[in-house]
Structure 1
Amino acid sequence: MTAPVNPQVLMYSTAVCPYCTMAERLLKSKGVEEIEKVRVDLDPAVREAMMAKTGRRTVPQIYIGDTHVGGFDDLSALDRAGKLDELLHPEA
């Protein structure tokens, strides 16, 4: 039996974003071991791509698998609603 594969987590962020840090802390507390971080403060083209993809200009912008969760407030609301675990661990 193989271990369940959890969806990839992608987070657009900047170096000095307290909400990015809080989002990362929340995800790690839920058992997420790896977060692919895309720094939008290093290249304006990356921020433009993030805005085109998400329709938002603020960070963090978080994807769990193919699902655009949104920012930290959205992530936190999902957790409070009891739906974050379902997204992170669909096999459970």
Structure 2
Amino acid sequence: MNPFEMVIGIVLIVMVANVMKARYKAKHGILEDEHGNEQLARPADTGEASRLREEVRSLKERVQVLERVITDQRQTSDLSLEIEKLRDR
């Protein structure tokens, strides 16, 4: 192997390593600022995200009520009242 081929080989190895490093960072959400500092990417809290969090919280509450209604051994009148409470929400 002549010196020219060795230089080309080293350049190719470094380029492949840089591509693999960039893919790893992109996959794991690691960003670099202009000074070279690395940090995890966190999405901005948008109105949509907060609306979805509120909806999930509401749905979790409803599931808890439904679980309680189904697992409790109550009379049918109590069951009807619980279902009506859920409809009013």
Structure number with larger C-alpha Rg? 2
Task: Give TM-score, length-normalised by structure 2.
Answer: 0.23
Task: Give TM-score, length-normalised by structure 1.
Answer: 0.23
Normalized per residue, the structure richer in strand is 1
Normalized per residue, the structure richer in helix is 2
